[in-house]
Structure 1
Amino acid sequence: MERLKYLISELKKTADDDWWLSEVSSIIEEDDDFFLDDLKVYGKALEVLDEGSWREFAKKAAGYIKHDSRRRGKQQFINILNEVLAYEYLVSTGRSSVQFVPESAEGGSKNKPKSPDIQFLENGEKSFCEVKTIGVSEEELDRVEADEIYSATVYYSLSDGFLNKLSSDITYAASQIPTNSSNNLIYVIVNFDDFVGLYYKEYEKQIRHHLSQAHESVQVYLRIGLRGRFSIQHMPRNA
Structure 2
Amino acid sequence: MEVLGIDIGGSGMKAAIVDLKTGEFIGKRKRFKTPQPATPEAMMKTVVKLQKHFDWSGSIGCGFPAAIIDGTVKTASNIDKSWIEKPLANMIRKATGCATRVMNDVDVAGLAEMRFGAGKDHGGTVLILALGTGIGSALFHNQQLMPNTELGHIQFKGDIAEAYAANSIRENEDLSWEVWGKRLNQYLVEVHKLFWPDLIILGGGVSKKFKKYEKYIDSRLNVIPAELKNHAGIVGAACQFL
Please give the TM-score of this superposition, normalised by the length of structure 1.
0.40
Larger radius of gyration: 1
Q: Which has the higher contact order (CA 8 A, sep 6+)?
A: 2
Structure whose residues are more often helix by fraction: 1
Q: Please state which structure has a larger fraction of its residues in strand.
A: 2
